[in-house]
Amino acid sequence: MTACALWGLETALVTVEVDVANGLPALVVVGLPDAAVQEARERVRAAVRNSGFEFPLRRVTVNLAPAERRKEGTGFELAIALGILRASGQLRVDVTALCLGELALDGALRPVRGTMPRVRYAATRGVREVLAASANAGEAAACGVEAFGFESLREVIDHLEGRVRVAPTPVPPRAAAPPHPVDLANIAGQETPKRALEIAAAGGHNLLFVGPPGTGKTMLARALESILPPLDDTEAIAASAVHSVAGLIDPRHPVLTARPFRAPHHTASHLSLVGGGSPPRPGEVSLAHCGALFLDEIAEFSRSVLDTLREPLEEHAVTISRAGGAATYPARFVLVAAMNPCPCGFWGDADRECTCLPEQIERYRGKLSGPLLDRVDLRVHVPRVPFERLRDDGRERSADVRERVVAARERMRVRLAATGRRVNADLTVAEVKRFCSVDSETEHLLAEAVSARRLSARGYHRVLRVARTAADLGGSDSLRAEDVGLALLLRSDP
Amino acid sequence: MIGIGPADARYPPRLLDLRCPPDPLWVDGETAPLASRAVSIVGTRRMTPYGARVARELASACAEAEVVVVSGLAQGVDSAAHQGALDAGGKTIAVLGAGIPSYLREARGRRRTLAHAIRASGALVSEFPPEAPPQIWTFAQRDATIAALGELTVVVEAPVGSGALITAEEARRLRRPVYAVPGPIGGAASAGANTLIADGRANALTGVEMLLGVLGLRATPKATSDPAEDARVLELLVATPLDPDAVARRLGLGPTALAATVARLIIRGRITSTPDGRLARR
């Protein structure tokens, strides 16, 4: 019998061996099972009995091989039950399919988390057929194998012995892209913040919105969803796999069609943000893989939580080390953060008096210091929109902006094909030199700013990366003076 | 740190005008700036970005003219004035409302760094014994000492009831000139300073040139060769920092022209972006 173990997104095929021998009646599971696997004994015993079979009154030994690998979760129960039935002669055919599923005491088959990464891995190792709970069958079918969905252990046996054949589950249709909650056309004014949003979507640059309360920072951030380019197939599977491990898959539409947009609340713990626990579960940063992570009121997050964001922002992955082993989850996302300029929110406001002391403001802004801010390419002020501008017309719709973003991504893909990078935000210093050359006049001006210490070396490269994206959005191969200007306007280090 | 009495040659002569000059005056740093030409610049802790810019500009201009800047090392305007003087390479004196060692022990963050920078280029002074803790009344007394140390006093942004008004009052009693920077009507941060002007207790200060003129100094004329577009942007940003959209709207510029103009000004160091992403004059 074959099952599949999961640790993080790392998978391994597990062979379930069952031996039924003379001795005192017992069911022993060996092969580094965790508590949930040990409990499987009771569920398997009851499920077998309540499905109309006989549980052998002899010594039953179940070995999960390879034995040195720790196994967690309930995904092995179907394989164990089938193994016992086969070893005791109640099932008369051999099973070559991958068996995934948890058993209920009455013999019903229940879905398990992480079906998609397990089946995807098994498919690469030559498995062509999967037996799973009905709710998981669509997920498995999406991975390109023949998947059969069942409601109970009895149905599985009937199918295997050819009494009642079940038809393979069809590959579930991709859900229609959901309507976006906010369209750019819903937002009045805010030309520069919208421009920043477009650059972030196209070039994968992280973005910080700063502005007084009630000016629409959250709404702007939500509009990012509507201008991100569509998911391609590999990205869709990669993102869905993380959702599958977290148990967040919709069984009718197991493959994500829209880029994930995750918005954890500022009281989030670091475990919920970057993942953790034992066995390790993916956190918000991994659920945002291939999409966007929105941290509203970022200065209200606790400092230690924000510090844990450094690894995913730099490595585009999170490694969670536990006694049982280390799990790695991907975490490539666009970070969009929003904050007030000061604790009361009215610093520098022309109409309202700010009540904060300078040192309070400094402490508030200090929450975002150093390494985190280093990974934020764009910072933009979101002003209060004057009333007469609230009724302006001729606003651009998200669909039009998205077309430009898709075109810019395509330019990046062609240019960066040889480097293995996907977006301009990931360019290394050497690649910035290669792909972001500016005319001699602009170069001269930038050099002057660097030597006068008005621009740091890091800031210089960041300006060029952002300018590269701005030029890509404008359909230009060379960086124009206005692209560099915009990048300078939106840079995050003063 | 040394304590000097009124009989000491290093004792700041202007302090002798006080009804009861501090005895001894504790000094940590250089003593020479105590006797040189000096201007007191004071103001509120809760300053606006405008107050920050004016305090910094006035202090820098004084420092460039080798006039010492005296202030109280509080948050806000005081710190901006000290910083402006230090940035221009000048000397500055901070008058503390507590004993010097006790202040240095308690200070945290930016003000701690600032205090040590002032020791190296100017002096920390206090009329209170080394271990005296800060009290409400020590600050009022310290405010009077600030007035006595400067030959004139400038109030940059003071709400009603601000300690800066005590300094202004003391300067008047000492018959030293008092200047106040006028602020917007309705702005709480400037209400006290505006009242000083309205009551005739202070002259309105109209700019750096006026301050230097009063001191009998000439402003070193700065070469201003800003193109017309740049000058208009700079003028827009005089009162308060603005977001890029507002600048573009008021000048009728398209995003391309705005980006080009702003880039030029940023690179040349004429404007900078504030921590909340708006444009401000440097």
ipTM metric:
0.79
Does A489 contact chain B (CB < 8 Å)? yes
Q: What is the pLDDT of residues A417-452, one digit of tens each?
A: 888 888 999 888 888 888 888 888 788 878 887 887
Residues across chain B: 282
pLDDT digits (tens, 9 = 90+) for A49-76: 999 999 999 999 999 888 887 788 888 8
- The residue of chain B nearest to residue A373, with distances taken between CA atoms, is B275
The full set of domains in chain B, from first to last, is 2-214 (3.40.50.450), 228-281 (1.10.10.10)
> From the CA of B182, how many Å to the nearest CA of chain A?
16
Whether residue A297 has pLDDT greater than 70 = yes
Domain ranges of chain A: 2-160, 184-396
pLDDT for residue A479: 87
Residue A80 has pLDDT above 70, yes or no: yes
pLDDT in tens, B34-78: 999 999 999 999 888 889 899 999 999 999 999 999 999 999 999
Which of B267, B278, B281 should we substitute to test contact with A (largest number of A Cβ atoms within 10 Å)? B267
- B-chain residues within 8 Å CB-CB of A449? 266-267, 269
Neighboring chain B residues of A348 at a CB cutoff of 8 Å: 48-49, 240-241, 274, 276, 278
Q: Per-residue pLDDT tens for A88-98?
A: 889 888 888 89
**Is residue A394 very low, low, confident or very high in pLDDT (cuts 50, 70, 90)?**
low
Judge whether residue B194 has pLDDT over 90.
yes
> Is pLDDT of A156 > 90?
yes
> Looking at chain A, which residue has its C-alpha nearest residue B76?
A358
Which among A190, A353, A381 has CB closest to B278?
A: A381
Q: Do B267 and A445 touch (CB under 8 A)?
A: yes
Between A174 and A411, residue with greater pLDDT: A411
Closest partner residue to B269 among A195, A381, A454, by Cβ?
A454
Residues of chain B with Cβ-Cβ distance to A356 below 8 Å are 46
Q: Stretch B250-279: mean pLDDT, rounded?
A: 82
CB spacing of B240 vs A350 below 8 angstroms:
yes
Mean pLDDT check: name the lowest of A276-285, A338-347, B217-226: B217-226
Q: Decide if domain A2-160 falls under CATH 3.30.230.10.
A: yes
Q: What is the 3-state secondary structure (H, E, C) of chain A?
A: CEEEEEECCEEEEEEEEEEEECCCCEEEEECCECHHHHHHHHHHHHHHHHCCCCCCCCEEEEEEECCCCCECCCCCHHHHHHHHHHHCCCCCCCCCCEECCEECCCCEEECCCCHHHHHHHHHHCCCCEEEEEHHHHHHHHCCCCEEEEECEHHHHHHHHCCCCCCCCCCCCCCCCCCCCCCCHHHCCCCHHHHHHHHHHHHHCCCEEEECCCCCCHHHHHHHHHHHCCCCCHHHHHHHHHHHHHCCCCECCECCCCCCCEECCCCCCCHHHHHEECCCCEECHHHHCCCCEEEECCHHHCCHHHHHCCHHHHHHCEEEEEECCEEEEEECCCEEEEEECCCCCCCCCCCCCCCCCCHHHHHHHHHCCCHHHHHCCCEEEECCCCCHHHHHCCCCCCHHHHHHHHHHHHHHHHHHHCCCCCCCHHHCCHHHHHHHCCECHHHHHHHHHHHHCCCCCHHHHHHHHHHHHHHHHHCCCCCECHHHHHHHHHCCCCC
How do residues B113-141 score in pLDDT, each as one tens digit?
999 999 999 999 999 999 999 998 999 99
Distance from CA of B262 to the nearest CA of A (A): 7
User: How many inter-chain contacts (A to B, CB under 8 Å) are there?
Assistant: 119
Query: A485 and B275 in contact by Cβ < 8 A?
Result: no
Q: Do B259 and A192 touch (CB under 8 A)?
A: no
Q: Which residue of A has its CA nearest to B264?
A: A485
pLDDT at B246 over 70: yes
Residue type, A289: H
Which pLDDT score, from 0 to 100, does residue B117 have? 95
Residue B94 C-alpha, separation from nearest chain A C-alpha, in angstroms: 18
Q: Does the pLDDT value for residue B223 go beyond 60?
A: no
Chain A residues whose CB is inside 8 A of the B76 CB are 357-358
- Look at residue A476 in the predicted model and tell me its pLDDT: 86
In one letter, which amino acid is B198? A
B6 min Cα distance to partner chain A (Å)? 36
- Minimum mean pLDDT range among A123-127, A280-284, A388-392, B203-207: A388-392
A184-396, CATH topology level:
Rossmann fold (3.40.50)
